[in-house]
Amino acid sequence: MSDPLLQVDDLHVHFPAGGRAVGGKRNPVRAVDGISFSIERGRTLGLVGESGCGKSTTGLSILRLVEPTSGTVTFDGTDLGNLGRKDLRRFRRRAAMIFQDPYASLDPRRTVGDAIGEALDIHDLHQGRQARATRVAELLERVGLHPDTGSRYPHEFSGGQRQRVGIARALAVEPDFLVCDEPIAALDVSIQAQVLNLLAELQDELQLTYLFIAHDLAAVQHVSDRIAVMYLGRIVEEGDRRDVITDPQHPYTRALLSAVPVPDPVAERQRSRVELVGDVPSPMNPPSGCRFRTRCPRVFEACGRIDPDLIPVGGGEGSVGGGHTAACLLHGEVGQPVERSEHPDANEIEAGLDGALPNR
């Protein structure tokens, strides 16, 4: 059972601060600041969090398109940190990426057939022009496009169609693992489901493993086996999809969940909402203690002092990797006085806000 294809341990990615500092050194941007997770073969981990919390950086650093500052990424038993340039390129055949912006991720000067064909060229995956064209047509058809559209330019395609081209290009290298970085965020609502369905079909057919990135839980909850919730460079809650959705343990997860519309209008009106107030703090200067404390409706005194670790919570089995974990002081010793595990209702949130304002 426990045979992860991808294992990430204590990954940090810090970017040097821009050069506009007036005297003295600026803090680095701590885009990813110590995260660990693993993904089993053939499964999907959904990575959710607001824009700017480090999701893309996480995906990019797994493929080493961005160099990690520290930490290890192990893919199929190999530590990627040790790969030389050649091996790294070989690894990139096994892991591919689908990008959020289907407009910018294709070169406007090249036909889509050329874009897909280049993926074949890079790894010598064809014998001759004819075979290349045949394979490109096959890939286009596989993602639901007309096989003869290879001679067209990206601007002739709609957003959804371009995203299909992006998927075809990623599939061309015959990967085992795909980082899907908000693949539907830029698409019309009407075609989001189609692209999600396509990704699900491909996963079944080709036994793909996905890291599926999204900024809201709506997209992630249907496609993921497990869900990790990210805030300001950290994972704050991780667990089986059902556990995280039905029994969220971190106040941030609850806030994200309450932003997901419920299809039933009656339930939609009745359910409690947790509005996130304020802005996300700068990753150059994260708050002391719990990073979520400046916006947390449940914040209390200890939150400014103690930086909570991910610990087993809720009804999950509690084993590492298979369980349900959250990083909040409401769980564990410090948080004993506060009752847990219920969905927060409006009063409770009010009380939380009145009781303890963030101590900056």
Partner 1 sequence: MSDPRVHQADAELEAPSTRHQSQWRATVSALLANRLAVFGLVMLTALVLTALFADLLIRQPINAQNLADRFAPPSSQYWFGTDDLGRDVFSRVVVGARVSLQVGVVSVGISLVAGTLIGLWAGYRGGWIDTVWMRAMDVLFAFPVILLAIALVAVLGPSLRNTMIAVGIVFTPIFARVVRGSVLSVREELHVRAVRSLGASDRRIILRHVLPNVAAPIIVQASLSLAFAILTEAALSYIGVGVQPPDPAWGYMLSDAQRFQRQGWWLSVFPGAAIFLSVMAFNLLGDGLRDALDPKQRSVIESRGVE
Ligand X SMILES: Nc1ncnc2c1ncn2[C@@H]1O[C@H](COP(=O)(O)OP(=O)(O)O)[C@@H](O)[C@H]1O
Which residues are near ligand X by CB under 6 A? 15, 29, 31, 49, 51-57, 283
Query: Of 148, 11, 146, 26, which is closest to residue 80 (Cα–Cα)?
Result: 11
Binding flag, residue 328, ligand SF4 (CB under 6 A): yes
The site partner of 15 among partner 1, ligand X, Mg ion, none (C-beta below 5 to 8 Å per kind) is ligand X
Positions in 56-95 near Mg ion (CB under 5 A): 56
Which C-beta is closer to ligand SF4: that of 212 or that of 252? Answer: 252
Rounded to a whole number of angstroms, the minimum distance from the CB of residue 284 to ligand X is 8
Smallest distance, ligand X to C-beta of residue 85, A: 21
Minimal CA–CA distance to 163: which of 122, 198, 137?
A: 198
| Ranges within 58-97 binding partner 1 (CB under 8 A) | 60, 63, 65, 88-93, 96-97
Is 166 a binder of ligand SF4 (CB under 6 A)? no
Inter-axis angle of helices 159-172 and 189-206, nearest 10: 20
Q: Considering beta carbons, is residue 283 or 335 the nearer one to ligand X?
A: 283
Closest approach of partner 1 to the CB of residue 65, in Å: 6
Contacts of 146 (CB under 8 A, 6+ apart): 140
- Residue 226's contacts (CB-CB under 8 Å, 6 or more residues apart) are 39, 43, 44, 45, 46, 238, 239, 240, 241, 244
- Pick the piece of the chain touching partner 1 (CB under 8 A) from 4-12, 107-115, 213-221, 271-279: 107-115
Q: Torsion angle of alpha carbons 39, 45, 50, 54, nearest 10°?
A: 20
Residue 298 near ligand SF4 by CB under 6 A: yes
Q: Is 117 exposed, middle or buried (0-12, 13-18, 19+ CB in 10 A)?
A: buried
What is the DSSP code string of 15-33?
A: EPPPTT-SSSPPPPEEEEE
Where along the sequence are the contacts to ligand SF4 (CB under 6 A)? 250-251, 290, 292-293, 296, 298-299, 303, 308, 328-330
Where along the sequence are the contacts to Mg ion (CB under 5 A)? 56
